[in-house]
Amino acid sequence: LGLVLDQLGLPDSAVEQFELAVRYGADNPQALVALCKEEIRLGRVQPAMALLNQGAKKFPNNAEMLYLIGEYLFNSKSEGDARVVLE
């Protein structure tokens, strides 16, 4: 539902749906990744990174989550940290 709302141009409603998916589908890393991507797209990078850091602890092998963290670190000029996450 969050993806559909986002495509309809309703980003705040999409975020709400992604948050519900994360809350009630706690074992669903895809919902967490979708929420983080939407937060980043809306310019709310710090909350997204906090969620990603929590998610990486719960799902340490989720490639998409690790990629988003690494991309953020690289863009933040933390290339050494990004290299550790992406390797």
User: How does DSSP assign 26-83, residue by residue?
Assistant: TT-HHHHHHHHHHHHHTT-HHHHHHHHHHHHHHSTT-HHHHHHHHHHHHHTT-HHHHH
Q: What is the pTM of this model?
A: 0.66
Give the integer Cα–Cα distance in Å for 8 and 17.
Answer: 13
Asked if residues 21 and 33 have their Cβ atoms less than 8 Å apart, the reply is no
The yes-or-no verdict on residue 25 having pLDDT over 80 is no
pLDDT, residue 47, reads 85
pLDDT tens per residue, range 29-87: 888 888 888 888 888 888 888 888 888 888 888 999 888 888 888 887 766 766 666 66
- Read off the tokens for 30: 């895809």
Mean pLDDT of 19-33: 76
- In this predicted model, what pLDDT tens digit does every residue of 4-17 receive, in sequence order? 777 788 888 878 87
CA distances in angstroms from 85 to 1, 4, 14, 72, 80, listed in the order given: 30, 31, 28, 11, 9
- Decide if pLDDT at 3 tops 80: no
